[in-house]
Amino acid sequence: IPVLALNDVKLKVEDKEILRGVNLTINKGELHAILGPNGAGKSTLASLIMGINGLSEPTSGEIIFKDKLINGLSIYERARLGLTLAWQEPARFEGLTIEDYLKISGKNNPDLDIDKCLEAVGLDPKVYLKRFVDESLSGGERKRVELASILAMKPDFAVLDEIDSGIDFTSIEDFQGVLQEMKNDGITILMITHNEKLLSSADRASLLCNGKVIKTSDPETIKKQFEECKVCEVLDFEQKE
Ligand code: ADP
Ligand code: MG
Ligand code: MG
């Protein structure tokens, strides 16, 4: 059963076509990975699905979540429908303890168990509950806390935009466990990543290149196509320059 469908979604920002007709369907309970070169429009697509960063409405096309057209809905309205995103602006939560942060995240989750959320992401509650969400956390700890907040929220749908970047090899394996935990909780996941291990955890994957989904298939096939795509190579190079 499709939970999210994008139908011919286009987005122009200041005369620049960033998304050029995206078609994508994500099924209930699926872990779907998005691959694509730097600048392809992956983060823009994530923002548009979530309605954040000033992007709530495509220039044309439909974003359908649970059979509802969500074009133009606010982030709060979307959250009420069960859509969420790994926090992109943890600055808003600076100064809160991790305990409070997770309590706020999980305020609508009747089964909230904060210790369990922290343990699932490899953080000892005894050490971390009273720590503050601020610069005293390392980048890796911060990402773990973000993931714990998703487990606390237990949304129907989560978008993870390169949440693995900057995490070391050993914790990638922990992260695979967290993804599994999310799936067990019934969370459908859209995950933007280039990490091979995480990619192999996906049920399906899509290649986003130059503002379009050019293929959806199994993760192996998509990875191969990405590596062989000449357009991707050129775009990635241009963006890195
Ligand atoms: P990715 O996440 O795949 O690396 P992005 O979605 O961040 O790509 O960016 C896609 C393209 O859109 C890039 O060329 C980027 O410069 C451009 N872009 C992103 N946000 C804006 C914006 N607010 N205004 C203008 N251009 C933008
Ligand atoms: Mg980028
Ligand atoms: Mg990005």
Ligand 1: residues with CB < 6 A are 13-14, 16, 18, 36, 38-44
Give the pLDDT of residue 47: 92
> CA–CA separation, 208 vs 23, rounded Å?
10
Tokens of residue 58, six digits: 């495509």
Q: What is the pLDDT of residue 238?
A: 80
Q: Is the pLDDT of residue 19 over 90?
A: yes
| 189 C-alpha to ligand 2 centroid (Å) | 20
Beta bridge partners of 6: 24, 63
> For residue 172, what pLDDT is reported?
82
pLDDT tens for each residue of 42-75: 999 999 998 888 899 999 999 999 999 999 998 8
Q: What is the pLDDT of residues 75-84, one digit of tens each?
A: 888 988 999 8
Pocket test for ligand 1, best of 9, 35, 44 (most atoms within 8 A of CB): 44
Report d(CA 73, CA 188) in Å as an integer.
20
Task: Enumerate residues with CB within 5 Å of ligand 3 (an ion).
Answer: 42-43
Question: Which among 220, 205, 221, 161 has a CA at the least distance from the CA of 34?
Answer: 205
Summarize pLDDT for 146-187 with one digit per residue, the tens. 889 999 999 999 999 887 776 665 678 888 999 999 999 999
- Spatial CA neighbour of 49 closest among 29, 66, 31: 66
